[in-house]
Structure 1
C-alpha cells in the first residue's frame, strides 16, 4: 500500500498502543493522521509530541465507536483506518454487557463505516486471547480457539465479522492478534493494569512482588513500539486480508519475568507466592507463545526489542515521568 499523501483515522489513537501507532504513522509521508478517541482510557498527554506535527490532530468532539453518526463524520475523506478501540480483558469480565456494546457492536459500526466510505484498508486489533490456553507451541494462526472469557469472545466475534465484511463487500482487513504487550502509556496503577506494571509498582514501593501459582506459567511479551510498527507494516503490506500473531515467539515464565525486573531494579526483595483464587484458576491461561512466522513472511514484521531492552526503556520512562514515585 502507498501511504504517500494519505489520510488516516486512528480509532483509539490516544491510548496505550494507539499513541505509539500515531507516532509510527507520522514517520511516513502521510498527509493527515486524525485521532478518534473517547478518552476513557486514552490521554491527550500521550500525544503531546505527535500534535506538534501539523499533520496530526484530534477529532474535535472526541469519539466513541458506539456513536455511529460521529464515527461516520470522522471517517469522511479518509483513505485508511487503524482501529484499536476496545474494552480491556478485566473490564469485559466485570461489565460484559458494555463489552458487547463496545467490542462487538462497536467493531460492526467501524466495519460498516469503512464500507460506506470506501476505506482502502482497515487494520484492526484482535488479541491472542482468542486462543485461550495453548495446545501446541508456538501457537500458529490456525491454533484452535480455546478462549473462555468475555474479552476473547468479543475478539472472536470481531474476527468473524471482519471475515464476513471482506467476503461480502471486499473490505480489506488485517487483524492483529497481540501477545502480552507492555511499555510506556500502559495503565501503570489502576486495578486493571498488567503484570509488568504491577510488579514494578510493588518493587518501587519496596514491597515483595507477588506471583500467583508457582510462576511457571509462560507468555510471549512484546514491547509496545514493536506492536505499533507492526500496525504500520500491516497497513503498507500487499496483504488484503488475514489474521496475524504479533509477538516474539520467545517464552518467558512469570518467575523469569519477575527475576529480570528485580535484577534491572537492583532489588533484593523476596518474591511472595500465593495460590490462585478459584475464579482465577478456572480462567487461567498457563502458556501462550505465538508463532511469528506468518507475520514475518507476509507483513515483513520482526520484533526489534528483547524483553530486557523493552523493560529498560519502560523503567527509564517511569523514572522520567515520575511514575516510579507515584503512590500505589
Structure 2
C-alpha cells in the first residue's frame, strides 16, 4: 500500500537517491528542503511527475514543519548541517541538527506518523576501542554534529514513548557516490585524490594512510532507508549500522582510485593528526532487522564514481 512520505533535506545528496526509490514503489513524496544546496532542476523533474510536492522551508521553523507533516504517514529525516561545518559554526549545527530534528520528531508524534527513519551517523561512536563497531558499543561523539546525531536518537526514543510513532535511526558510515558534495568531510578525500590524479599528480595522504573508513555507496544507503520504512513496529525503535563491514585504509583507497583513473603514480604521505583512526561497521543487525546487505563493493563503487561525476 502506497504512503505519503515526508522527506526532509530530500533535495540533497542522499535524498536524490532516496526519492526515486520511493517513487518506484508507488509512494507520494512531500519534499521539505530550504534549497540552499538542492538541485532545483532535478526537483522540478520529480514535481512534474505529479507525485512529488516541494515545500521550500527550513526544519528550524516548527510551524512550517507541522504544516508539511499534515497528512504524511512516514518520515525520512535527512536535513542536517555537515560535520565539518558544525565545528566552524556550532550554533548553526545545534540549531539545525538538534532544534530542527526536535521539530520534525515532535510534529511526527503529534500528527500520528507511524514511522520515522532518521539519518544518524557512525560518528556517534567517536574513535572506537574495537572493530567492528556494534550498535551497543559505548558512544563518544566528538563534535557538535556527532552530539546532535546522538541527541536525535534520544529525542526519537522520548517521543516514541509518548505516541504511536516508531523509529529507526540508521547510523551511516562513510557515504560516497554520484552527486556527493566535494566538501563532504569523510569523502572529500576521494575528491581530492581524483582531482590530483586527473591532473597527473600523486594523491597526498595524511599520516601513514593507515586510518581506515567503511565506505558505503549511496545507492545502498538509499535502499536501507526505504527498507527501514517497512520494518515491523515490534522490531523498530533502535539504531542500525549501515556500512559494508569492510574497513578500507586511506592508502588502499588511493591505490584503488589510481587504478580507476588509470594513471601511473605513487601516493605521497605527509604527517598530520586525524580525527578518527579506524572505522568498520558490524552490520549483522541491518541484515537481521532490515534484511539489508550492501550490494556495491568499494572497487566497483569508486570506478563508478570516477566514470560518472567527479572531476
Would the TM-score normalized by the shorter structure come out above 0.5?
yes
User: Could you tell me the TM-score, scaled by structure 1's length?
Assistant: 0.90
Q: 1:292 aligns with which of 278, 283, 305?
A: 283
Give 1:49 deviation, angstroms: 5.0
Aligned partner of residue 136 in structure 1, secondary structure: coil
1:199-258, Cα deviation, whole Å (9 max, x unpaired): 212222333211100000111100000000000000011133110000110111000001
The 5-angstrom pairing of residues 62-73 of structure 1 reads: 62-73=56-67
* Alignment check: 8 A CA contact 2:18 2:222 kept: yes
Q: Does 1:173 pair with 2:170? A: no
Q: 1:265 aligns with which of 261, 265, 270?
A: 261
Aligned partner of residue 269 in structure 2, secondary structure: strand
1:1-41, Cα deviation, whole Å (9 max, x unpaired): xxx231111100000001101011111122x1121111223
Q: 2:4 aligns with which of 3, 7, 21?
A: 7
Instruction: Please give the alpha-carbon distance, in whole angstroms, between the structure 2 residues aligned to 1:272 and 1:58.
Output: 46
1:78-110, Cα deviation, whole Å (9 max, x unpaired): 111101001000000100011000001111000
Residues 228 and 194 (structure 1), Cα distance of their counterparts in 2 relative to 1, 3 Å cut:
same
* Alignment check: 8 A CA contact 2:257 2:303 kept: no
* Alignment check: 8 A CA contact 1:37 1:64 kept: yes
The residue aligned with 2:54 is 58
The 5-angstrom pairing of residues 1-328 of structure 1 reads: 4-30=1-27, 32-47=28-43, 50-59=46-55, 62-188=56-182, 194-238=188-232, 239-276=235-272, 281=273, 284-318=275-309, 323-324=310-311
* Alignment check: 8 A CA contact 2:83 2:185 kept: no
Higher mean C-alpha displacement, 44-53 vs 74-83: 44-53
What residue ranges of structure 2 are gaps of 5+ in the alignment? none
Instruction: Please give the alpha-carbon distance, in whole angstroms, between the structure 2 residues aligned to 1:46 and 1:316.
Output: 20
Residues 189 and 25 (structure 1), Cα distance of their counterparts in 2 relative to 1, 3 Å cut:
same
Give 1:272 deviation, angstroms: 1.9
Give 1:168 deviation, angstroms: 2.6
Give 1:167 deviation, angstroms: 1.8
Instruction: Please give the alpha-carbon distance, in whole angstroms, between the structure 2 residues aligned to 1:246 and 1:82.
Output: 15
Instruction: Please give the alpha-carbon distance, in whole angstroms, between the structure 2 residues aligned to 1:161 and 1:190.
Output: 26
Give 1:191 deviation, angstroms: 8.7
Q: CA RMSD in A?
A: 1.7
Instruction: Please give the alpha-carbon distance, in whole angstroms, between the structure 1 residues aligned to 2:221 and 2:254.
Output: 22
What residue ranges of structure 1 are gaps of 5+ in the alignment? none
Instruction: Please give the alpha-carbon distance, in whole angstroms, between the structure 1 residues aligned to 2:128 and 2:236.
Output: 28
* Alignment check: 8 A CA contact 2:82 2:185 kept: no
* Alignment check: 8 A CA contact 2:212 2:277 kept: yes
1:109-157, Cα deviation, whole Å (9 max, x unpaired): 0011101111111111100000011211111101111222221111111
* Alignment check: 8 A CA contact 1:8 1:82 kept: yes
Q: Which runs of 4+ in 1 moved over 4 A?
A: 189-193
* Alignment check: 8 A CA contact 1:91 1:192 kept: no
* Alignment check: 8 A CA contact 1:126 1:175 kept: yes
How many residues are treated as equivalent by the alignment?
309
Give 1:52 deviation, angstroms: 4.5
Give 1:67 deviation, angstroms: 1.4
